[in-house]
């Protein structure tokens, strides 16, 4: 069965520090992984997807099939990065993790 695990409910980092939001998945097929973000008082929106291998707002995520992980990283956190981040697995439908609330301390 498919499952997405985000082990950290809360994560706080200082502005300018590196940030890594962890995501592990369980799926027997070929996965499609995504990161969605929800800023305060805004809707959930797609941040990036693994197949496009792009960097959005300085964030990157690499799919590691050996470790079944898709961690989200940014080398220098900004205050505007404070938000709720959801990792999602595309397997017929989207399966979401429970989310990590990132707070960037000025």
Partner 1 sequence: NAGVMQNPRHLVRRRGQEARLRCSPMKGHSHVYWYRQLPEEGLKFMVYLQKENIIDESGMPKERFSAEFPKEGPSILRIQQVVRGDSAAYFCASSQNRGESYEQYFGPGTRLTVT
Instruction: Determine, following the binding rule CB under 8 A, whether residue 34 of this chain makes contact with partner 1.
Output: yes
How far, CA to CA in Å, does 99 sit from each of 28, 30, 33, 66? Answer: 22, 22, 14, 23
CB 3 within 8 A of CB 95: yes
Instruction: Determine, following the binding rule CB under 8 A, whether residue 56 of this chain makes contact with partner 1.
Output: no
Q: Which of 32, 56, 60, 73 binds partner 1 (CB under 8 A)?
A: 32
Q: Which stretch binds partner 1 (CB under 8 A): 14-22, 55-63, 64-72, 93-101?
A: 93-101
Q: Which of 4, 21, 63, 83 binds partner 1 (CB under 8 A)?
A: 4
CB of 102 to partner 1, least distance (A): 15
Helix (H, G, I), strand (E, B) or coil at 70: coil
Number of residues that bind partner 1 (CB under 8 A): 21
How far is residue 4's CA from residue 97's CA, in Å, rounded to a whole number?
A: 5
> What's the farthest any 2 CA atoms get from each other in the chain?
42
CB 15 within 8 A of CB 58: no
Instruction: Enumerate residues 68-87 that contact partner 1 by CB under 8 A.
Output: 86
Binding stretches for partner 1 (CB under 8 A): 4, 6, 32, 34, 43-46, 49, 51, 86, 88, 90, 92-99
């Amino acid at each position: 069965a498919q499952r997405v695990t985000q082990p950290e409910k809360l994560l706080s980092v200082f502005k300018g520090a590196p940030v890594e939001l962890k995501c592990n998945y369980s799926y027997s097929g070929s996965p499609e992984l995504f990161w969605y973000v929800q800023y305060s008082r805004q809707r959930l929106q797609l941040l990036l997807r693994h197949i496009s291998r792009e960097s959005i707002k300085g964030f990157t995520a690499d799919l590691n099939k050996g470790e079944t992980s898709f961690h989200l990283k940014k080398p220098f956190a900004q205050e505007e990065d404070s938000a709720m981040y959801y990792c999602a697995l595309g397997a017929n439908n989207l399966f979401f993790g429970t989310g990590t609330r990132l707070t960037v301390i000025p």
